[in-house]
Amino acid sequence: MSEKNINVTLKVWRQKNQREEGKFKEYLAKDISTDASFLEMLDAVNEELISKGEDPIAFDHDCREGICGSCGFMINGNAHGPLKSTTVCQLHMRNFKDGDYLTLEPWRAAAFPMIKDLVVDRTALDRIIKVGGFISVNTGNAPDGNAIPIPKTAADEAFNAATCIGCGACVASCKNASAALFTSAKISHLGLLPQGQVEVEKRALNMVGQMDREGFGACTSTGSCSASCPKDISLVNIARMNRDYMKASFSKKPEIHAGDGA
């Protein structure tokens, strides 16, 4: 075990709530173990703030295992920090040097209202899921395994898309604050499987529609999203979403309701 401790200076965005103006404030994180995670480093800084009677820095977190999608903020302009395929809770201080100067900013997007400091409201993403991120099946006994044959390649791709943890780093790092990567991952992980076929058109129309209504921007294929995605969700999903949406837009059939018929 390397027993090396470092000091880093933090420039942190502090904002009480949406109404009040925010500003950057500097803090010194002293004597931090390089084995500590980034959030553990913030815990240490907060302990000190609390002992001095100051307001601790608010940040979102839950599992601290890189699986829940709660954590996330910008470190020196990069969502979840400099390392690829990593959530900020899985980022360790050994990736930084003694004396580093780190600017911490919350996710910024018109569709992500400020809550406090590094915490923003990401329920816009939940609302996108709500309008189409499901399949309608009758509940009942669990079906037999492999009762529905699924090609391995489709299962793999669907599973990759399903690893999206909904952290919002894609939106945060995109110059257009586009939610295309997130939405397309949610559309793909159902749409690639036979169980997801029934609603494939409706799903694309509803989820893209909700994405636009929430005020996320348009994708311009910069690839910033995928580069900062902790789960390496691929741009191929966005292409699939566009294709599904285009097909659905031009083949949309009117819904027939009971009693409509002659």
Partner 1 sequence: MLSFIQSTVGKKYLMGLSGLIWAGFIFGHMAGNMLILVSPDAYNVYGHAIVSNKILLYGTEIALVGALVAHVICAIFLTKQNRESRGHRYAMNPNGQKAASFASEWMAIHGSVILVFIILHLVTFKYGPHYETTVDGVVMRDLAKLIIEVFSQPMAVLWYLVALVLLGFHLTHGVRSIFQSFGLLHPAYQPIIRRAGAIYAVVVAGGFISQPVFVFLTRAVAA
Residues interacting with ligand HEM, by CB under 6 A?
220-221
Site for ligand FES in 155-194 (CB under 6 A): none
Give the whole-angstrom CA distance, residue 222 versus residue 192. 25
Q: State the binding partner of 115 from ligand SF4, partner 1, ligand FES, none, CB within 5 to 8 A by kind.
A: none
Residues in CB range of 231: below 8 A, 6 or more apart: 85, 163, 164, 165
Q: Which stretch binds ligand FES (CB under 6 A): 61-69, 107-115, 137-145, 247-255?
A: 61-69
Give the whole-angstrom CA distance, residue 98 versus residue 5. 8
Site for ligand SF4 in 44-63 (CB under 6 A): none
181 touches partner 1 (CB under 8 A)? no
Q: Which of 205, 230, 235, 244 binds ligand SF4 (CB under 6 A)?
A: 230
Neighbours of 205 (CB within 10 A): 18
249 touches partner 1 (CB under 8 A)? yes
Neighbours of 139 (CB within 10 A): 5
**Contact yes or no for 59/42 (Cβ under 8 A):** yes
Residue type, 256: I
Binding mask 85-114 for ligand FES (x = CB under 6 A): --x-x-------------------------
Q: Which of 27, 61, 128, 164 binds ligand FES (CB under 6 A)?
A: 61
165 touches ligand SF4 (CB under 6 A)? yes
Q: Which of 233, 235, 238, 241 binds ligand SF4 (CB under 6 A)?
A: 233
**Contact yes or no for 164/185 (Cβ under 8 A):** yes
Place of tokens 């899921």: 129
Give the whole-angstrom CA distance, residue 183 versus residue 194. 19
What is residue 19's three-state secondary structure? Answer: coil
Residue number, 114 or 235, with CB nearest to ligand HEM: 235
Residue type, 139: T
Residue number, 61 or 203, with CB nearest to ligand FES: 61
Give the residues lining the site for ligand SF4 (CB under 6 A): 164-170, 181-182, 185, 229-231, 233
